[in-house]
Amino acid sequence: MNRRLVFFSILFLGLLTSAYTLDVSTRSIQDDSSLRISIKDTWLTEAPGKVLEKSPWVHTLPGGDRIQVRAEGERGECLIILARELGGTFPGWAQGSWVLTRRRDTGLPERIRIFLRSDPYVYVQFRPFTGDKSLMDVVVYDAYVVHSQPLAIPFERLLVIPVEDALRTAGASFPRRYFDPDPGMYRELREFIALVRQRLPELRFRDDGAIDEQGRYVFIENLALQDGPGGLNCSGFAKWIVDGILRPRTGERLTIPPLKEPFGDRTSSFSEAYERLRDPFFGLDWTRNLAAAAGNFGTLEEIEVQKGSFASVIRRKEGKSSIRAYPGFLQNAGFDSEGIHPLLYTLAVDEPGFIYLASVNQERGPAPRMRQHFHVAVLVPYFTEAGNFRIALFESAAETSFTNFKTRYPGHHINLVRIPVEGTFDP
């Protein structure tokens, strides 16, 4: 099989772009510093007005990679782009692409952005700081995994030195693992997704529906048998998923009553009086109990995702972007939905082999307003055989879109628990 031409498709800024590639390790990217040295005076430091008048042209590196050199102007900026070839095109974010951004009016440099993976949302960038120092950022799906890390190297040197030299200067501050995932580590997750998809046509949605330990369709609230065609709600579907992981090993499905039991210290003297009336922690307890059973975990810290890998995110609105602090984990609530995409990316890299049950929650209801865990979903972050990041999302007896999921719950919190995936799937 040709390792450089494997099918994948990627959604870029709302536009579907098809591409064909298999990225190499970051240390194996062909160096383009000799090209940058040769065009420093005519492209990288020339007046932006003159650079923007230049026509694109293509250079071939000694190793065979082709690079299109071009300039683009947008929002008062001049971008000098060294775009690597990807499936016969030069999109500007293919692995190894290098982009210098300068102010269009003054020509002053603002940043160098380097795409070490063929993913427009995962990159490292360098910014001017002092005369002998620069700043490094590492961005993953609009989250700063590294932000403003000082490097003992002048920005002007970054225009011409090999990218690997700059990364070596960063040392341990550069989290290379986020750019070098091993697609082979996600084989079982890909097989799991395929098996779930095969079984979905046999399911239908039904409010408060689940399958008990005997394989009967019942109602979660009172365990009464369902009349007519049986179905699952979001919580019953999450149980169906976990049963499918456990039953091939244990020969049994989980019983329902223990899944409804309180898990962890998640109440107060105030909320306790309303818990029976409004059941605000149902989704939280249900997912925690499922995870405890599936992973044989002993503590809540093992079950629950409580740490993120970033402290700030990029917020985009009306064509403008700003950086805001990301609050991280909130006890018994999880993470702000704004950071779920990058969180799942970093989790996929840091702990391959897990899926995540999400309990969606928000303060809602009549006075007194309370945090209510009202929806459960199954999230599967993984990398394709070609090394492209994807998130499969299953909820309420169907596969849905992660993009839709994100936009459906703005301003909500999402609590995540881990479920290990090993072996086959048979609910």
Say if residue 90 is in the same domain as residue 192.
no
Cα separation, 394 vs 195, in Å, equals 13
Mind listing the pLDDT tens digit for each residue in 4-15? 332 333 333 333
Same domain, 193 and 159: no
40, two tokens: 């420093």
Among 55-64, 262-271, 371-380, the range scoring the smallest mean pLDDT is 262-271
Separation CA 92–CA 110 (nearest Å): 18
Mean pLDDT of 237-260: 97
Same-domain status, 107 and 154: yes
Asked whether residue 117 is assigned to any structural domain, the reply reads: yes
Strands (E) located in 21-65:
57-60
Please report, as a single letter, which amino acid is at residue 100: L
Residue 78 lies in a domain: yes
Tens digits of residue pLDDT in 35-81: 999 999 999 999 999 999 999 999 999 999 999 999 999 889 999 99
Over residues 275-313, the pLDDT tens digits come to 665 678 999 999 999 999 998 777 899 999 999 999 999
Q: Are residues 245 and 99 in the same domain?
A: no
Residue 426 lies in a domain: no
396-418 residue pLDDT tens: 999 999 999 999 999 999 999 99
Integer Cα distance of 43 and 119 in angstroms: 25
What does the CA dihedral 81, 84, 88, 90 come to, rounded to 10 degrees? -20
Q: Does 137 share its domain with 283? A: no
- Check whether residue 15 and residue 105 sit in a common domain: yes
378 neighbors 393 (Cβ within 8 angstroms):
yes
pLDDT at res. 320: 84
Count of structural domains, the chain? 2
For residues 74 and 98, membership in a common domain is answered with yes
Q: Do 132 and 192 have their domain in common?
A: no
189 with 171, same domain? no
Task: Give the domain range for residue 133.
Answer: 7-179
Helices (H), 16-160: 33-38, 48-51, 155-158
Extended beta strands in 304-423, E state: 312-317, 320-325, 335-336, 354-364, 370-383, 389-395, 398-400, 413-420
Q: State which of 125, 160, 179 marks the end of a domain.
A: 179
Task: Report if pTM > 0.85.
Answer: yes
Q: Are residues 127 and 194 in the same domain?
A: no
427 found inside a domain: no
Task: Indicate the residue among 122, 144, 179 that finishes a domain.
Answer: 179
